[in-house]
Structure 1
Amino acid sequence: MAIGTPADRVICFRCRHYTTPRTNIDTVALSQRFRSEYGPATMDMKEVAELLEAVDKDLEDYESEILLLQSRIMYIKAQQTQLKKHAAVLRSLRSPIRRFPNEILSRIFDFACDKNLLQEFPWSKDFKFVPSTPIVEPFRHLPAMSISSVCTRWRSVALSSPAIWSRISLELSPENSRLPNVQLVLSAFLYTVELHLHRSGQQPLTIELDISGALDAGNNVIPYQLLAFDLVCNYSWRSFTMGGYQPILRFPMPGFNRIRNCHSLENLRFVISGEPDDELELFTQADGLHSITLYMIGNLPTPFWTEIASLTVECMYGEIANVFNYASSPKELVLGEREDQDSDLSPCVPPLLCTSVSTLKLKLCLHWDDPLADIAFSSFTFPSLSCLAIVGSDELPYEGAWPKATLAAFLRRSSCNLTEFEVKSVSVSDIDLIAALKLMPSLMNLYIDDTHGGDDPMSPITSRFIRSLHGLHWTELRPSGSTLVPKLRELKLTFDGSQFDDSLFIEMVNSRWLPDTQYASGIGLSCLRVVTLRFNNREVDPAVYRPLDYLDKAGMMVVVLSGVDD
């Protein structure tokens, strides 16, 4: 067998020592033999056979080495994969979320779990009304269960946070109650309801109830019993919302006999159609009630409660002063008009004085002949008013007349010190808005959102409006040189158009940055502290707004966003 040179040596994969192949590959010598050796006298067949045998054995050895190397490579790659996973786990131990105290994590969960939607399942196929909420991914609607399924720590924190389990929205199908084996059919759904109730502990529940059906009694199925609702009636409530078109008293719910003593109830909302006179009598013992929302108010009797702090009415008829029949001295009053209702609202003459109202919000709709804003401003006198909001909906913006005269008369008559003013989805000219702001010298927070979907919307956020907010320059709308809203500390603008004077806005914000309190007091201005500018239909050029970055670093909170930043 030929002996290999040192250069031919290789390392044996099995024993890790050098080994020499049996075959010496000498192509020059072999070529010479091809040319010179022939015939029986010169050809040594035995030697050739031995060389071929050595080659075959070397090939077998190499093949074995290759197989062993491949096996070793696969093993090394597997080990590498495991090490990468191990490194990822180790890096996760350094994640900032792991350093959060459980108390902060619990607060985060509390904000994330605003509602757990428990929709009756299976939904009756014979019932022609579909569920109110289409569900594709159930766990997205069950935040408490989703959070508790992430890891051991999150589960422990979630189970020790009863508040996140206590917010339950029930969407029920009354048709299922007629099934003879309803308890068996709904066993999984009822177990989920019981699980949330059990984990809520002694925490008072926040309940939203929606029973599918129509307003027409002839098209409804009156259930014998709503099992899921009977379960929640065994617990105390903090908030109750009745939605849909079904009045509660249409259903034989024995559970309501157990919640009449509902002293923990704080918020009550009826967003069903019609006057809820009889339904409200179910909650006469809710002596802790401080917030109530009603779909409609007409000529209602004396209120059951005297401590209502917040009153919301979506629709009204009769005299507008009737809103105080259920809340004689509310601090917050929200009045709305709906696009699917006709107006039969009359003003109050003379204007009604209410010294308790500090917040007034008007939700306007174009469909009413007598605008709610004009009726409200001409009917009330609120000397304690500090927050005023005039808003339309994003879907149906208010494009009616701006209540210029009635608003001015209301502010002069009330002599209130407004500190916050909001205008959203309402068509108003910049001149009219500036005229209104002149009547609000104590204003500190100003929020303007011109988002609306009209064909030719009127936006108050113009160059003239921005120039009028300048802290130092005189304008044609300020001939006396007096500064508009001199106490302004927070400004939020949402701009729905495409043409905007960026440089003028930056100049105006700079003029309002007065960190030297002595100088600011000398010129009669307050330092602007918070600025939020949002564009719905245009991009933000960071280079253009770089001057505001310096103000942000100096102490002013500056946020500039575009619609794509969501």
Structure 2
Amino acid sequence: MAFESCLLCHSTVFKPRVSVTNSVYEHLRSTNTLPENIISDIPALLSSVQKDLDDYESEIHRFQIRIADIQNRREMLRIHAENLQSLQSPIRRLPNELLTRVFGYLCIENDLTEGCPSAVTLGSVCLRWRQLTIECPELWSNMVIYLYEEDDFDEVVHGRLTCLVNLYLDRSKSHLLGLTFIGGPWCPDGDDGSDNPILQVAQQSFRWKHVSFDADKFSPGNYPIWDSLDLPVLDTLYLTSSYDVHDCSLEMLKNTPILRAFHASGCIVSGIET
């Protein structure tokens, strides 16, 4: 393969063996018979043409690699420019105390069934935010937990919920909890409760401060585990049922010495319809 310099970019490109001329077209349009010497040269010309085609293919591949490299360098430079601009972002100049307060508004409710709950999302932005969220237990102290009925049980969803509940209970440390339970009463039983998020939350009942139940047919009888809970700091309790329920004997209230607010909707409690 011979090489020559490109007249446009002065880079080295291969020099083709065959020059494309109009003579072939002239012979094709001519009514005269081709001379024997031209006919005898055609196989060699075709061989050279094929070699040139192969070389052109190699050149195209070489330039494609070069173009891809240039595009990659351009993308890296664009990302570098974005990172430089991010360093000027006003939020980076906020003190940790103020930034944590902003985080608190975002984590008033942590829906554990979402793709990525608020506290987890914040901790995934950068190292600084991760450290702030981990060091701030109140960001992990509010949880919205869906109680799936047996017909809706999904092992993958259940496993993910279990992991998230463990994470939130661990990172909330000793901070008081705000819990919202939504959905049906059924939850699979684990041998030791390690894979049962409801049992895990119940074991931390001494930290429950604000609790809300929202179910189609709420009845404490559907949650026998609640009857034996120790609720020394429970401050507010909300019960909401979409359908009237008449068997709300709230044994769980016997262990709530400082309960300040109790609201029931769609239930009859102690003979009083609310």
Specify the TM-score bucket, using the shorter chain as the normaliser.
0.5 to 0.7
Q: Distance in 2 between matches of 1:110 and 1:87?
A: 35
Q: Is the 8 A contact 1:116 1:141 kept in 2?
A: no
TM-score if structure 2 supplies the norm length? Answer: 0.60
Give the 3-state SS of the residue equivalent to 1:70 in structure 2: helix
- What's 1:62 paired with? 52
Q: Which residue of 2 aligns with 1:232?
A: 201
Q: Equivalent residue of 1:295, what SS?
A: strand
| Structure 2 contact 180–212 (Cα < 8 Å) conserved | yes
The CA distance in 2 between the partners of 1:230 and 1:242, in whole Å, is 16
Whole-angstrom distance in 1 between the partners of 2:130 and 2:263: 38
State the AA in 2 paired with 1:111.
Y
2:106 counterpart letter in structure 1: A
Distance 1:108 1:51, change over 3 A: farther
Q: Is the 8 A contact 2:220 2:226 kept in 1?
A: no
**How many angstroms does 1:117 deviate by?**
3.6
| 1:268 is aligned to 2:237 | yes
**2:220/2:250 contact within 8 Å kept:** no
Matched residues, number: 240
One-letter identity of the residue aligned with 1:92: E
Deviation, 1:67, is: 1.4
Residue 282 (structure 1) aligned with residue 218 (structure 2): no
Question: Aligned-pair distance for 1:266?
Answer: 4.1
Map of 2:154 onto structure 1: none
Q: Does 1:201 align with 2:181?
A: no
1:83 aligns with 2:52: no
Distance 1:69 1:224 in 2: 66
Partner of 1:433: none
**Within 1, Cα distance between the matches of 2:95 and 2:79?**
21
Question: CA 1:51 to 1:247, structure 2 compared with 1: closer, same or farther past 3 Å?
Answer: closer
In 2 relative to 1, CA 54–238 (structure 1 residues): closer, same or farther, beyond 3 Å? same
CA contact (8 A) 1:167 1:205 kept: yes
1:241 aligns with 2:212: yes
Distance in 2, matches of 1:18 and 1:187, equals 61
> How far does residue 252 in structure 1 lie from its aligned partner after superposition?
3.3
RCO higher in 1 or 2 (8 Å CA, sep ≥ 6)? 2
Distance in 2, matches of 1:155 and 1:81, equals 33
CA apart distance, 1:60: 4.4
Residue 205 of structure 2 is aligned to residue 252 of structure 1: no
1:139 aligns with 2:114: yes
Pick aligned residue for 1:190 from 162, 175, 183: 162
**Could you tell which deviates more after superposition, 82-91 or 244-253?**
244-253
Structure with more helix by fraction: 2
- Structure showing greater Rg: 1
| Counterpart residue type for residue 105 of structure 2 | F
TM-fit CA distance, 1:198? 0.9
In the other structure, the counterpart of 1:71 is 61
The Cα of 1:51 is off from its aligned counterpart by 6.0
Letter in 2 for 1:204: L
Cα pair 2:4 2:12 within 8 Å, conserved: no
AA partner of residue 257 (structure 2): T
CA-to-partner distance for each residue in 1:278-302, whole Å, 9 max, x for gaps? 654431245xx5xx24237xxx99x
Structure 2 distance, partners of 1:145, 1:195, is 10
Shift in Å at residue 86 of structure 1?
A: 1.1
Q: Which amino acid aligns with 1:253?
A: I
- Secondary structure of the residue aligned to 2:72 is helix
Amino acid at match of 1:162: P
Distance change in 2, residues 1:241/1:78 (3 Å): same
**Unmatched runs of 5 consecutive residues or more in structure 2:** 152-156
Displacement after TM superposition at 1:75 (Å): 0.8
Q: How far did 1:71 drift? A: 0.8
The structure 1 residue matched to 2:184, chosen from 212, 233, 236, is 212
**For the structure 1 residues 76 and 285, does the alpha-carbon distance in structure 2 shift closer, same or farther, using more than 3 Å as the test?**
same
Change in CA separation of 1:253 and 1:51 when aligned onto 2, cut-off 3 Å: closer
AA of the residue aligned to 1:80: I
Deviation at 1:97, TM superposition (A): 7.4
User: CA distance change for structure 1 residues 84 and 99 in 2, over 3 Å: closer, same or farther?
Assistant: farther
- Alignment counterpart, residue 16 of structure 1, candidates 7, 12, 24: 12
Q: CA separation in 2, counterparts of 1:67 and 1:204?
A: 69
Supply the AA of the counterpart residue of 1:207. Answer: L
Deviations 1:163-222 (A, max 9, x none): 23221123335869xxxxxxxx96654343222211222221111234636xxxxxxx8x
SS at 1:139 equivalent: coil
The equivalences for 1:412-561 within 5 A come to none
Structure 2 CA distance for partners of 1:116 and 1:255, relative to 1, 3 Å: farther
- Please tell me whether residue 159 in structure 1 is matched to residue 134 in structure 2: yes
Q: TM-score, normalised by structure 1?
A: 0.33
AA in 2 matched with 1:282: N
Ranges in structure 1 where 5+ consecutive residues have no aligned partner: 1-8, 119-137, 177-184, 214-220, 302-315, 318-340, 342-566
Could you say what secondary structure the match of 1:116 adopts?
coil
Q: Distance in 2 between matches of 1:20 and 1:142?
A: 62
**Cα distance in 2 between the residues matched to 1:171 and 1:23:** 75
The 1-side partners of 2:189 and 2:18 are apart by 94
Letter in 2 for 1:192: L
**TM-aligned CA deviation for residue 70 of structure 1:** 0.9
The offset of 1:19, in angstroms, is 5.8
Does 1:295 find its partner at 2:267? no
